[in-house]
Amino acid sequence: MPIIEIDGKPIDVAPGTTIMEAAQALGIYIPFFCYHPKLSVAANCRMCLVDVEKAPKPLPACATPVADGMKVSTASRKAKMAQQGVLEFLLINHPLDCPICDQGGECPLQDITMGFANPHSQYTEEKRVVEDKDIGPLIATEMTRCIQCTRCVRFGQEIGGIMELGATGRGERMAIGTYVAQAVRSELSGNMIDLCPVGALTSKPFRFTARNWELKHTPGICPHCSTGCHIDIQSRGREVMRVLPRPAEAVNEEWICDKGRFAYAGLAADDRVTQPLLRVDGEWREVSWAEALDATVGGIEHLLREHGAQQLGGLISARASVEELFLFQGLLRGIGSPHVDHRLTQQDFRADAAMPLYPALNMALEDLEREPVILLCHGFPRNEQPLTNHRLRKAVLAGGQIFVLAEQQRDFNYPVTQIVAGAGADVALYERLCRYLEQPEAIAELQGDTVLVRAAQALRAADNPVILVGSGALRHPRAAELLYWIGQVAALAGGRLSWLGEGANSAGAWIAGCIPHRLPGGAASPQQGLPAGAMWASGLKGYVLMDCEPTLDCWDGAAAEHALCAAELVISIGCFSREAQRYAHVILPAVAFGEGAGRYINNEGREQPFRAAVRAAGEARPGWKILRVLGHSLGVEDFAFMELEEVTRAWQRAVGEFPLDVTPLAPFPHCASGAHTAAPLLRMGEWPLYRSDPLVRRSAPLAQQAVARLHPEQAAALQLHPGVVEITTATGKALLPLVLDRKIPMGAVWVPMGFPETRDLGPAMGPCAIASAPTVAAAALAAV
Amino acid sequence: MLSEQALTEIARERAKYPEDRAQSALLAALRIAQEDQGFLATEVMDYVAHLLGIEPIRAYEVATFYSMYDLQPVGRHKICVCGSVSCFLRGSDQILAHLEEQLGIKVGETTPDGLFTLREVECLGACLGAPMMQVGDRYYENLTKDRVDSILAALREGGDDVG
């Protein structure tokens, strides 16, 4: 092992270590701009030049590997001259506009200039000016400030997986940009803001609103997917100002996705509720908590008296904390209703009894990147769990193979083998894969299925391959059949099942018993309740909703709306009122993102507590307190909690230690095949990245447009042209702009969920018709 | 978008490099595309990137780095006058000024008849014959104003190579 000396301190390091890494291990600071431990070494800023004994010139610490006996000085005259020289050159073209620069106060260039620069510049000529680029609603550019460290470029190439920024031009004319005017599309693009060591790339939504030193930092957990990224919620007074990643090597390393970073902007939505709302004679009135609680408790008691507890259902989102989930099911079951569920996006619950204690990755996120063979079943983690997707990408870059079975082609940001079923024929894909796994000798004779055969061979050859069940599998209208065959695939391939949970607290929701068939901890519920979909179909008389908008969040928004509007009593506990006002009778304001405390359990089974960053807005109350008061008022036993910790302890007592590795409780049953939708055209719906929950839907910088997507040949066959089309289902119509997209299979039209525009269409997957929109309607839409 | 011949040549260049090193063929592929199309429009660069299976921005980076790639249409004759040290000491700035006057355009422009584009470029490695310029594939060295005039006249006559 080479022994080197830096500033007189000896250190014994592994061969191949760079001077930078050795110095950091010793706690010696060497200034740098372009170096980043997660990115390749570019050595182009030259800020880390150090003086190495016997080397004629100063050497860049980030790119120089140590050699035995090396003596490095970071503060000799030679090193200092090099540092001053580099800074003088970097500052030649950098504007001295720190007072109006958003990076001011958190700017490495500012800090390093203060610490290392010669106070005088010899430069008297004109500075260069670089045109700013419009790269979308998230990142503001001020390219004259750029020092060409290329961190953003390398991030796109190496981490984001789509290279969108590049360095064009040469010498003095070199500039970072996209060359052609376009918005960056990477779902991880916000990280470039953090990486930029100057004020060239700053956050557009946050810009000019606060200075770094005014902000209070509160550690938090991201509520937008099951990865459970660690975040730093930065606030001023009662307002969340921005969200940044918090380093957590085992979870999100030091990145977060744009959804987690910019969803907070939705807190400013104009329909945020901060005062209880009561519907009186069809009009909404702001009322006191006492009045609202009286109405709620009175309404529930009346319903129980008149119709019995079987007529009350409870739906809660998987973004609620375990404490809220635990109290929610406790409240419902305490007053006698078994109908409680959190799986709003799902429709087929026939496999419920066999499901594991909770869907989980069954391994650490870090281990995922070392898996050699993965079969991803119906999921697109780039949309659904962006930072878990990052681990899958690392697995592929390390030589792993990923096969994807899905209902449509998708833009993965790493090479995968995609095997796509024809519209509505997903189940058959898994059946065929099983056949190839079962009879390898028959494979040679099979024609036309070469890719699936290749997947079968890779799975057979692999030792214990990962069969990763994506969120799309559970959302499938024939999920139970898919699960049966996925179970068969796992058994035949000698693989293990692993799950990609959908919500931030999907695991917590299962463990806390917010499912109709199991109690907290997983014991079977003595009284089997109705799952989410069936609650709509049964047309209950009353619903309690928590942190969800069923009309947009549910697999069949039209059915949800129908059932809710027909109900006698709908209590909506949440942060926003626009959707809720369509069907609710009472709206109880709950705290929003950043205002509440609790804990989530992520997809690894990792328990992650978080606390409030800011005070609740207006009269909003923590969800657990609202549930406690309701439970107490309705006479539910053991609901006299005073502190959140008491709820946590009650939950822990009820659940006990939960395992990190979970397997199905029984083999998945072979379900009779559901009604095969033999429609000429199938509506395929999914929640786009920024439409998946009430908060992100309201984030202005993440606004997405609802469009319909159709294969160009399918469009030609239907004689449709880009423009506005009208989609019709059994329950409603939608007018949407048509986009041609080769990734959509023939026989299907992709129509997104989570938009008010598509709410009336109903099921996420089902028959539909499409036609050119009537001209008047199209013109009206175009005008909007 | 490109001719059959250009596609064949690009495929030949591509085959010279390992499977995961498509970018290595980019310089040659862009040159072939430019010879085929006259200049590198954004769509042409996108197409070349698509052929090699790399992101378009990588093609933009390379094409904007080298002065030999033209991102805008150029005249039939591209006159590249060396402005580096040796040529400058031997009066390249006067040669350039003379060309501007004779052609009636500024550096970087193209004559209205589409015949000439004038460029100032960095050293072309012919210092021995400074001042020098390149027109098409050919170097013209030891330039004087008279010699420039006769070269221009011959090029106007229709020659491509007017030694």
pLDDT digit string, tens, across residues A371-410: 999 999 999 999 999 999 999 999 999 999 999 999 999 9
Q: Does one domain contain both A736 and A702?
A: yes
pLDDT at position B157, please?
87
Count CB-CB contacts under 10 A for residue A722.
Answer: 12
pLDDT at position A179, please?
87
Alpha helices in A341-443 (DSSP H): 365-368, 381-384, 386-397, 426-438
Q: Does one domain contain both A472 and A589?
A: no
Omega before A609 within 30 of 0, i.e. cis: no
Distance, in Å, from the CA atom of A622 to the CA atom of A595, rounded to the nearest integer, reads: 8
Where residue A311 sits, what CATH number does that domain have?
A: 3.40.50.740
Count CB-CB contacts under 10 A for residue A623.
Answer: 26
Q: Does one domain contain both A703 and A616?
A: no
Name the residue among A166, A169, A170 with its Cβ closest to that of B57: A166
pLDDT tens digits for range A700-732: 999 999 999 999 999 999 999 888 999 999 999
Chain B residues with CB under 8 Å of A164 CB are 55, 57
**pLDDT top residue among B142 and A440:** B142
pLDDT at position A632, please?
95
CATH code for the structural domain at B77-157: 3.40.30.10
Do B60 and A162 lie within an 8 Å CB cutoff?
Answer: no
Q: Is residue A198 part of a domain?
A: no
Distance, in Å, from the CA atom of B84 to the CA atom of B120, rounded to the nearest integer, reads: 9
Which tokens in the block code for residue A648?
A: 């946590």
Does B80 belong to an annotated binding site? no
Where does chain B hold its CATH 3.40.30.10 domain(s)?
77-157
Radius of gyration in angstroms for the set of CA atoms belonging to chain A, rounded to a whole number = 28
Q: Does one domain contain both A477 and A591?
A: no
Query: With 70 as the cut, is the pLDDT of residue A752 above it?
Result: yes
Q: Does one domain contain both A485 and A515?
A: no
Produce one character per residue of A354-382: b if its CB has 16 or more CB atoms within 10 Å, e if not.
bbbbbbbbbbbbeebbebbbbbbbbbbbb
Evaluate the CA torsion angle A336, A342, A344, A346 in order and state its sign: negative
Quickly count helices (H) and strands (E) in chain A.
24, 33
Q: Which domain holds residue A413?
A: 365-499
Q: Is residue A220 part of a domain?
A: no
pLDDT at position B158, please?
78
Count CB-CB contacts under 10 A for residue A137.
Answer: 14
pLDDT at position A93, please?
94
A172 falls in which pLDDT band (50, 70, 90)? confident
Distance, in Å, from the CA atom of A22 to the CA atom of A4, rounded to the nearest integer, reads: 9
Q: Is residue A675 part of a domain?
A: no
The residue behind tokens 């990477």 is A186
The DSSP-derived string for A298-313 is HHHHHHHHHH-GGGEE
Q: Is residue A565 part of a domain?
A: yes
The residue behind tokens 């930029």 is A196
Give the residue from chain B lying closest to A176, CA to CA: B61
pLDDT at position A252, please?
96
CATH code for the structural domain at B4-65: 1.10.10
The share of chain A scoring above pLDDT 90, in percent, equals: 90
Q: Is residue A159 part of a domain?
A: no
A677 falls in which pLDDT band (50, 70, 90)? low
Q: Does one domain contain both A629 and A522?
A: yes
pLDDT at position A693, please?
95
Name the residue among A162, A168, A170 with its Cβ closest to that of B60: A168
Chain A residues 111-170 with CB within 8 Å of chain B: 162-170
Return the closest-CA partner of residue A660 out of A605, A609, A599: A605
Do B58 and A163 lie within an 8 Å CB cutoff?
Answer: yes
Q: Does one domain contain both A415 and A484?
A: yes
Q: Is residue A48 part of a domain?
A: yes
pLDDT tens digits for range A540-568: 999 999 999 999 999 999 999 999 999 99
Residue A297, classed as helix, strand or coil, is helix
Q: Is residue A767 part of a domain?
A: yes
A114 falls in which pLDDT band (50, 70, 90)? very high
Query: Any residues with CB less than 8 A from the CB of A175 and at least 6 apart, and which?
Result: A130, A131, A143, A146, A167, A168, A169
Do A162 and B42 lie within an 8 Å CB cutoff?
Answer: no
Give the residue from chain A lying closest to B54, CA to CA: A163
Does B87 belong to an annotated binding site? yes
Name the residue among A163, A167, A170 with its Cβ closest to that of B55: A163
Do A180 and B42 lie within an 8 Å CB cutoff?
Answer: yes
Query: With 60 as the cut, is the pLDDT of residue A166 above it?
Result: yes
Q: How many domains does chain A have?
A: 4
Where residue A70 sits, what CATH number does that domain have?
A: 3.10.20.740
Q: Does one domain contain both A519 and A494?
A: no
The share of chain A scoring above pLDDT 70, in percent, equals: 97
The helix (run of H) or strand (run of E) holding residue A25 is: helix A19-26
Q: Does one domain contain both A573 and A645?
A: yes
Which of A131, A148, A153, A168 is best to mutate for the B interface (most B CBs within 10 A)?
A: A168
Mean per-residue pLDDT of chain A: 94
Last residue of a domain, one of A499, A529, A551: A499
Distance, in Å, from the CA atom of A144 to the CA atom of A57, rounded to the nearest integer, reads: 30
Q: Does A172 lie at the interface with B, CB-CB under 8 angstroms?
A: no
Do B64 and A162 lie within an 8 Å CB cutoff?
Answer: no
Which of B40, B52, B61, B121 is best to mutate for the A interface (most A CBs within 10 A)?
A: B61
Q: Is residue A111 part of a domain?
A: no
Chain B residues with CB under 8 Å of A169 CB are 64-65
Name the residue among A169, A170, A178 with its Cβ closest to that of B57: A178
> How many CA within 13 A on the CB side of residue A309?
13
Chain A residues with CB under 8 Å of B58 CB are 163, 166
Chain A residues with CB under 8 Å of B64 CB are 168-170, 179
pLDDT at position A470, please?
96
Mean pLDDT calculated for residue range B119-131: 94
SS3 string, A458-512, reads HHHHCCCCEEEECHHHHHCCCHHHHHHHHHHHHHHHCCEEEECCCCCCHHHHHHC
Where does chain B hold its CATH 1.10.10 domain(s)?
4-65
A and B: number of Cβ contacts within 8 A: 31
Q: Does one domain contain both A485 and A516?
A: no
Instruction: Among A227-241, A418-432, B65-79, name the most confident range.
Output: A227-241
Where residue A719 sits, what CATH number does that domain have?
A: 2.40.40.20
Residues belonging to chain B with any Cβ–Cβ distance to chain A shorter than 8 Å: 42, 55-58, 60-61, 64-66
Mean pLDDT calculated for residue range B50-57: 95
Query: Any residues with CB less than 8 A from the CB of A153 and at least 6 apart, and which?
Result: A163, A165, A166, A167, A176
Query: With 90 as the cut, is the pLDDT of residue A448 above it?
Result: no
Q: Does one domain contain both A15 and A43?
A: yes
pLDDT at position A445, please?
58
Q: Does the predicted interface ipTM exceed a cut of 0.90?
A: no
Query: With 70 as the cut, is the pLDDT of residue A446 above it?
Result: no
Q: Does one domain contain both A467 and A395?
A: yes
